[in-house]
Every structure is written in C-alpha cells, then in structure tokens.
Amino acid sequence: MCLLILTGCPGPGDRMRLDETAKVNRIGDNVCMNIDGGGGYQPAIISINPRGTPSKEQAFVDNPSLSIKSEQLCIPPSFYHFLDDGKYIVDFVLTSESNVDEPRKFVVGVGVNHSQFYNFPLTDREIARPYGTIEVPEE
C-alpha cells in the first residue's frame, strides 16, 4: 500500500516502449534496413552518428527526405556517407497516419568493414530492450 502511495497509480503514460532494431544490408549504393510491418510508416526523425558520440553532439534530421519502400528504409550516400571501417548508431522514429498513437522507434548498429555493411550488438545504453536480450547479432 505504501508503495502505491509513493509511486502513484500506473496509467497509459507509464508504459515504457522498447526500441526495435533491424537487419542492415546494402542495395546498390544505399544502406538499407529491413522494417517488418513497415507499410504506412514513414521516418519522422533520424539520427546517424559514429558510435560513442556524446548525446549533446548528436545530429538529428526532422522529417528526412527518406521513405520506406518494400519494407526497406534505405539511406543513399547523398543523405549520409558512411566511412569505411567505422561503426555508427542509426536511431530513427517511424510514424503512421493510421497509427498516430503508435510510433515505432528503431536503433540499429551499422558497421562498415572494407565496404561491407553489417550489424553489431548494441549495449543497454544504446537501446532500450528487455533485460539481457540481443535481437541482431554481429555478423
């Protein structure tokens, strides 16, 4: 009873939404991420930063000129150039006009090695997920 008084009643705003992640691949010159169930969703904000960039220095783009086609969110080199032998955190929010109250937040670890793109595991500081789970292993 004391705990309820100290913390208050749980409500709809108290739910923590876990981040999703996606498999990265290369299609032509584009870096693409598979978005299962991505129909009707479009990116509302995106952040692409080298891994370890302090949060105060991270760059964000509102309403990026990107779209989801065939359940793929592709980033052309004209939008962001991934340097070889680097690791990046790609963080984005997808919104849908039909699901206004259900935005989807993704965090993807994108590594580049000799022009090959791969996923790498994210730490608990980089992604909100159930304790001890890693959805996409490093390849």
Segment 8-18 shows an average pLDDT of: 60
Sheet holding 72-75, edge to edge: 24-27, 30-34, 72-75, 68-69
On the question of pLDDT at 137 being above 60, the answer is: no
First to last CA, the chain: 49
| Residue 5 pLDDT class (50, 70, 90 cuts) | low
Distance in angstroms (rounded) separating the CA atoms of residues 33 and 74: 6
* pLDDT digit string, tens, across residues 104-122: 999 999 999 999 999 999 9
Q: What does the angle CA 98 – CA 64 – CA 135 come to, to the nearest 5 degrees?
A: 70
On the question of pLDDT at 7 being above 80, the answer is: no
The predicted pLDDT at position 11 comes to: 54
Q: Which residues contact 86 (CB under 8 A, 6 or more apart)?
A: 50, 51, 111, 112
**29 exposed, middle or buried (CB, 10 Å; 0-12, 13-18, 19+)?**
exposed
The predicted pLDDT at position 99 comes to: 80
Average pLDDT of the chain, as a whole number: 86
* pLDDT digit string, tens, across residues 26-70: 999 999 999 999 889 999 999 999 999 999 999 999 999 999 999
Distance in angstroms (rounded) separating the CA atoms of residues 133 and 120: 14
Question: How many DSSP H helices and E strands does the chain contain?
Answer: 1, 9
Nearest to 108 by CA among 21, 46, 19: 21
Domains, the chain: 17-119 (2.60.40)
